[in-house]
Chains A and B, each alone.
Chain A
């Protein structure tokens, strides 16, 4: 029982570490998604770059 609990805790720790690593790497290497439409339009104007707008999963 103790071994099982230890394994579960270890597994959770490994998963968290993997998520952190993925999040950190993505933060630098992934797509930069805008936090809002307003932020996006302001930034697109300031940078003079086009907007990539995508809609997914409508329920």
Chain B
């Protein structure tokens, strides 16, 4: 199924609405590749993970579902892991996709597709990287983009990062206030950074007001 079913476009499209777990005990099919400029070791059967991942899944997760004797065996489960359907033996991409679509349709409430999920995670990661470098405006823009996504579970990913950013803004504001008497130019520079980079937090408005005062 690794060479026929999983590369099937119909299956790949269906899989985007699922979380996919493979338990495969054999290793040794790793190849070196360069992805996004980084040298990585990936499994040539399940390309986005190393062999150690599918082997570890085999050790830790194989026994999650009882009575799996023959392989390949596919279990379609609810979001909380409860078995809904079991498919023993090989299945073509379109067969498997059809079964998956049927099960998917029975899951109630809002669901998040893999592409939009990864998109939100990427934005948060970009925001985190900018935060680490002290690029506050860039971090803010990334986190705010996530907070404006329509689906609740995606929006929620911005909550902690925005809290962290606001705390940083408040910290920098205190630092700027401390410098107003002794290092006025440095204080003004910092206040400008806060006013521009930390909207719509309160610290940005306070910084803008202090900057106006300091300019008089």
The yes or no verdict on A and B being binding partners is yes
Q: Does B173 interact with chain A (Cβ within 8 Å)?
A: no
Interface residues on A, range: 35 or more
Question: Interface on chain B toward A: helix, strand, loop, or mixed SS?
Answer: mixed
CB B60 to nearest CB in A, in angstroms, measures 5
By the criterion CB–CB under 8 Å, are B56 and A36 in contact? yes
When each residue 104-125 of chain B gets 1 if its CB lies under 8 Å from chain A and 0 otherwise, what string results? Answer: 1001011111100110000000
Q: How far is the CB of B136 from chain A (nearest CB, A)?
A: 27
CB-CB contacts below 8 Å: B156-188 with A: none
Residues of A within 8 A of B57 (CB): 34, 36-37
Judged by a CB distance under 8 angstroms, whether B214 is at the interface is no
Q: Which B residues between 1 and 45 are near A, CB-CB below 8 angstroms?
A: 1-2, 6-7, 11-12, 15-26, 31-35, 40, 42, 44
Q: Does B206 contact A (CB under 8 A)?
A: no
List residues of B (39-95) whose CB comes within 8 Å of A's CBs: 40, 42, 44, 46-49, 53-54, 56-58, 60-62, 64-65, 68, 71-81, 84
Tally chain B residues at the interface, Cβ within 8 Å: 66
| Residues in chain A near residue B31, CB distance under 8 A | 19, 23
Interface presence of B100 (CB below 8 A): yes
Please tell me if the beta carbons of B53 and A23 are within 8 angstroms of each other in the complex.
no
Residue of B7, B15, B23 touching A55 (CB-CB under 8 A): B23
Q: Is the CB of A44 within 8 A of B79?
A: yes
Question: Which residue from chain A places its CB closest to the CB of B43 in the assembled complex?
Answer: A33
- Interface pair B12/A50, CB less than 8 Å apart: no
What would be 23 A-B contacts, judged by CB atoms less than 8 Å apart?
Answer: A22-B47, A23-B47, A26-B48, A27-B48, A31-B12, A31-B15, A31-B46, A34-B19, A35-B53, A41-B19, A46-B112, A47-B79, A47-B114, A50-B77, A50-B107, A51-B77, A53-B74, A53-B77, A54-B20, A54-B22, A55-B22, A55-B71, A58-B71
Chain A residues with CB under 8 Å of chain B are: 16, 19-20, 22-24, 26-27, 29-37, 40-41, 43-59
Q: Which B residues are closer than 8 A to A by beta carbons? A: 1-2, 6-7, 11-12, 15-26, 31-35, 40, 42, 44, 46-49, 53-54, 56-58, 60-62, 64-65, 68, 71-81, 84, 100, 103-104, 107, 109-114, 117-118, 153
